[in-house]
Amino acid sequence: MQEHMAIDVSPGPIRPIHLISDYFPHFYPFAEPTLRTPDLRPAAAPAIRTAPQLQPDPEPEEDSDDSTVLGTLEFTLLFDADNSALHCTAHRAKGLKPPASGSVDTYVKANLLPGASKASQLRTRTVRGTRGPVWEETLTYHGFTHQDAGRKTLRLCVCEDPRLRRRRRAPPLGELRVPLRKLVPNRARSFDVCLEKRRLNKRPKSLDTARGMSLYEEVEAEVAGEERGRILLSLCYSSQRGGLLVGVLRCAHLAPMDANGYSDPFVRLFLHPNTGKKSKYKTSVRKKTLNPEFNEEFFYAGLREELAQKTLLVSVWDYDLGTADDFIGGVQLSSQASGERLRHWCESLGHTDHRLEMWHLLDSAPLQFSH
């Protein structure tokens, strides 16, 4: 009698049992065959609504084993199309699981893929002693174009800082990859994503230690080293000074040329043909960087019509003390060029006192002039 009263008082938990048997008849060998017929399917829908805790999870369980147990990362991406920049703001991580128990000292490392790992590597500061670090730090990739957004992926790794623990470099606590083609220009997009296990790739044998890069460094093997970098130049024909002002503003994602995985870059300028003493210039050297900032300006005197018939060669070099400098890449601006290089040259000389800044990809082969 008490059992009967319990059923009358609490029909909710008991009622779905008969309906769930429609989905799992093998648990009830005495069930009638009509339980499998389609005419009872409408009765199954209320069971799922009244007992949602019994509904199967559509996500595979192994996803939690590899990702959710590693924690989550909150960040925001913004493609600033007007200034050709990609901003990645690392907000915080939650539920990090370091290899050893206890607190952990962590930072976020970012890479643009495909491309050389060192050339596009940026990182935040280290936050110490917590499994839920808060960085609130923005990493900026300069020279990021619409073409980059269409084909590149941003990899973010949460790493443990080995320097503060006096131990060897450990694998990342977790990583994630975001295809950038889905970003809407000039519109920020926030993410809260589960971290995944690290993906390793071997460097191809053709890219050996000639530049001091390990064969086992984590890179995108099939495309590593395909880019030499890019340079941001400004051109302006000054009517007051009667000549062309060439600004070397900065470089980004340069190819590493030294054994330490970096370069000591500087830029050379040459206006051809020009018999004057002021046809060649070079910037100062920036030590141990693949993203140097120069902000130096140089002047070439001459009429606009005369300058339009000349060619400006801009080349980036790695400074080596006591040996020949290594060529990193170059770009040629002239009326014989094409694409963005031609537009930059013609628009700058076609307008007076109009400063125009543009990014240019560097060519891997030294450019030669026909005499």
Compare 354 and 16 and report the one with higher pLDDT.
354
Mean pLDDT computed over 285-291: 93
Instruction: Kindly report the CATH number that applies to the domain delimited by 229-362.
Output: 2.60.40.150
- Find, among 154, 174, 300, the residue nearest to 238 by Cα: 300
The domain made up of 71-200+217-223 has a fold known as Immunoglobulin-like (2.60.40)
Q: Given this model, what pLDDT does residue 216 score?
A: 40
Q: How confident is the model over 37-72, as pLDDT tens digits?
A: 444 444 444 443 333 343 333 333 333 444 457 899
Q: Strands 356-361 and 230-238, how do they pair?
A: antiparallel
Asked if pLDDT for residue 206 goes beyond 90, the answer is no
Q: How many CB atoms lie within 10 A of CB 88?
A: 22
Mean pLDDT computed over 275-292: 88
Domains 71-200+217-223 and 229-362 fall in the same CATH topology: yes
Q: Given this model, what pLDDT does residue 274 score?
A: 77
Sorted by sequence, the CB contacts under 8 Å of residue 217 that are 6+ apart come out as 117, 203
Asked if pLDDT for residue 28 goes beyond 90, the answer is no
Mean pLDDT computed over 215-238: 68
Q: Given this model, what pLDDT does residue 134 score?
A: 96
Enumerate the domain spans of the chain. Answer: 71-200+217-223, 229-362
Asked if pLDDT for residue 149 goes beyond 50, the answer is yes
With bands split at pLDDT 50, 70 and 90, how would you rate the model's confidence at 249? Answer: very high
Q: How confident is the model over 356-365, as pLDDT tens digits?
A: 999 999 998 7
Asked if pLDDT for residue 300 goes beyond 90, the answer is yes
With bands split at pLDDT 50, 70 and 90, how would you rate the model's confidence at 168? Answer: low
* 27, two tokens: 């648990």
Q: Given this model, what pLDDT does residue 321 score?
A: 86
Q: How confident is the model over 60-106, as pLDDT tens digits?
A: 333 344 445 789 999 999 999 999 999 999 999 998 887 665 668 89
Q: How far apart are the C-alpha atoms of 25 and 28, rounded to whole Å?
A: 5
Asked if pLDDT for residue 222 goes beyond 60, the answer is no
Mean pLDDT computed over 3-25: 49
CA torsion angle for 126, 131, 132, 138 (degrees, to 10)? 20
Lowest mean pLDDT among 5-9, 197-201, 239-243: 5-9
Give the mean pLDDT of the chain.
78
**Are 161 and 109 spatial neighbours (Cβ–Cβ below 8 Å)?**
no
Q: Given this model, what pLDDT does residue 57 score?
A: 36
Q: How far apart are the C-alpha atoms of 66 and 197, rounded to whole Å?
A: 6
Asked if pLDDT for residue 217 goes beyond 60, the answer is no
State the maximum Cα–Cα separation within the chain, in Å, rounded to a whole number. 113
Q: Give the Å distances, CA to CA, from 44 to 37, 39, 234, 335, 371.
A: 12, 10, 69, 73, 84
With bands split at pLDDT 50, 70 and 90, how would you rate the model's confidence at 114? Answer: confident
Q: Given this model, what pLDDT does residue 101 score?
A: 53
With bands split at pLDDT 50, 70 and 90, how would you rate the model's confidence at 29? Answer: very low
Lowest mean pLDDT among 54-68, 177-191, 255-269: 54-68
Q: Given this model, what pLDDT does residue 43 score?
A: 42
Task: Answer yes or no: pTM beyond 0.75.
Answer: no
Q: Given this model, what pLDDT does residue 233 score?
A: 97
Q: Given this model, what pLDDT does residue 89 score?
A: 97
Q: Given this model, what pLDDT does residue 225 score?
A: 43
